Chain A
Amino acid sequence: MVVGVLGIQGGFSKHKEMIDSMGYDTKIIRTPDELKKTDALIIPGGESTTFLNLFDKLDLEDAIKEYSINSPIMGTCAGMIVLATKVDSINYSPLGLINIEVNRNAYGRQKESFVDKVNIELNNRLIKFEAVFIRAPKIVNYGSDCDVLAKYKDDNIMVQNNSVLVCSFHPELTGNNVIHKYFLEKFM
């Protein structure tokens, strides 16, 4: 099985390191042709405006939408933003592959970025996870076809539907691979 990590910009190298260490074949994806040769896709954190700008120029928008019909996608931080149906103050249309509404940089600037322990429900078990929030977005609304897997205080921070898993924090940074493992086992 080949796991693709979108590498047009952003935190792709830490995702790749983690998936490599789990024994999967990992490929950095920058074109529609490269995407077709993978079985699952991770869209990392980074700058959502840069992502959406490049999706358009690299014909990745339609390619990812078509891909999602049969293959699972995980999005973290900016990856979550681009997968949403609605995003505040942005000039681009997001991909609309998970029915959530997202506000960008909702916790403030970098000096407000933080790390905290959160509870995540994976396969009906509650797991403690050290979540890293970096200029993080907030999920302010979600559709009835979505399940919430984790909250931080009053905010929903991890949501899934049948084929897409998103979180507002960075599961690739702490060395704990339970979220990647859940995605690759449950969604495949």
Chain B
Amino acid sequence: MAENKHFDLVKVGFAEQLKGGVIMDVTNAEQAKIAENAGAVSVMALERIPADIREDGGIARMSNPKMIKEIQKMVSIPVMAKCRIGHFAEAQVLQSLGVDFIDESEVLTPADEANHIWKHDFKVPFVCGCTDLGEALRRIAEGTALIRTKGEAGSGNIVEAVRHMRMVQSAIKKITTLGHDELVSYAKSNGSPLELVLYIKENGKLPVPNFAAGGIATPADASLMMQLGAETVFVGSGIFKSEDPEERAKAIVMATTHFDNPDIVSKASEGLGDAMKGLDIAKIPAEELLQTRGW
């Protein structure tokens, strides 16, 4: 651990405590309480869940501080909130509100089309999305304490989350098989900071925890992502867009804890109402994909 200079004791140390859990999107204090009672390790406070952002269109921004405060008052678990990519002033506001984690998120409309926030400047830890290893390593270089694969938020379709997790895991495996003389070329062609490519070569894993997001709608989806290497799952629209949020939230918590025990995942999946309807990724116009936001 001493050799991992990206292991900020307080920031990454906190991310470690969120492992094996479910982080749920909520839009008001009442939903936050349902999430906490169901066993969520944290809630993500946002004004509209991704499925509704997708439907409503328009510019999606940081949530209203008043709503974040109401959620903070309602629950004792950590409260996360999203800022726009590159919008460091929104991040400053969220830090001032005492949000426990800031998600610099592709779900909101980007504020900067070239740069992400320099996250080392903040006391509050950040989580950032990625679709491949190069993107994950660029975010870690900027100071994120936690990575999540992006998936396709608000789609209710797990296929992109699986693709991104497999991309990251197979790139990690590949680096461990390369010779040192091949690493500079690898770093160049994948837009990855060399120092972090070297870390992966030596350790066979990312220097910060890796969670999964974007499309998880059922207990089995959560189990799938955990078995593919996610250490916790974010569930956005999947809970409060379903027929029975309370029961579904509990079931996804149980399936995440026991992701490797199909008997328990099966029992958790029983008797749930309809999951969110979901979207075929191929039918989403390219300009409406959220996962392509981030540089």
Contact = CB atoms under 8 A, between A and B. Distances in A.
A111 B21 contact: no
A132 interface: yes
Contact of A135 (B9, B20, B78, B123): B78
B19 A134 contact: no
Interface residues of B, number: 36
B9 A115 contact: yes
Given A49-B77, A110-B78, A132-B13, A30 B100 contact: no
Contacts of A77: 17
B19 A13 contact: yes
A110 B124 contact: yes
Nearest to B96: A111
Interface in B2-41: 2, 9-10, 13-14, 16-21, 36-41
A111 B9 contact: no
A73 B18 CA distance: 21
A175 B14 CA distance: 16
B95 interface: yes
Contacts of A175: 1-2
Contacts of A11: 13, 16-17, 19
Contacts of A14: 16
A13 B124 CA distance: 23
A50 B16 contact: no
Instruction: Tell me the interface secondary structure of chain A in the complex.
Output: loop
Interface string B83-104: 0000000000001001111000
Given A109-B98, A113-B10, A173-B9, A54 B19 contact: no
Given A30-B257, A109-B98, A132-B9, A10 B1 contact: no
A13 B210 CA distance: 13
Contact of A50 (B21, B95, B124): B21
A9 interface: yes
Contacts of A105: 76
B125 interface: yes
A15 to B, nearest CB: 10
A113 B8 CA distance: 12
A49 B36 contact: yes
Given A11-B16, A113-B14, A134-B10, A47 B41 contact: yes
Interface of B: 1-2, 9-10, 13-14, 16-21, 36-42, 76-78, 95, 98-101, 123-125, 231, 253-254, 257-258, 261
Interface of A: 7-14, 30, 44-47, 49-50, 53-54, 57-58, 77-78, 89-91, 104-105, 108-111, 113-115, 130, 132, 134-135, 170, 173-175
13 contacts: A8-B20, A9-B41, A9-B257, A10-B20, A10-B21, A11-B16, A12-B19, A46-B18, A78-B17, A109-B99, A110-B101, A134-B17, A173-B9
